[in-house]
Structure 1
Amino acid sequence: MKAIDDYVEEMTGDWTWLHAQNHKWLKNRWQIGPRALGAAPKSIS
């Protein structure tokens, strides 16, 4: 999900770290269906 990755890169300070930890958790959780999230933004745009 490039949009979220770009969003994380734009943030600074502790919030970046907290968000990155949450993003890592979501990424790990969605490994069950690796394309489930990755395909959605492409189909919209």
Structure 2
Amino acid sequence: MLSVKRGSKQPDKTKDKMLMPIRIYNTLGRKKEEFVPVQPGKVGMYV
């Protein structure tokens, strides 16, 4: 079991990893494009 003391920082595991961009097929332009949210850090979806 892992325990963390209050106020202690956990190492940032994401800074050593390369992040892969999300690419989505644009049916209007007929090509894959990198996904960029309108508001950074927030994504909405219509279904």
Q: TM-score range by the shorter chain?
A: under 0.3
TM-score, normalised on structure 1?
0.24
Q: Which has the larger radius of gyration?
A: 2
TM-score, normalised on structure 2?
0.23
Q: Which has the higher contact order (CA 8 A, sep 6+)?
A: 1
Q: Which structure carries more strand by proportion?
A: 2
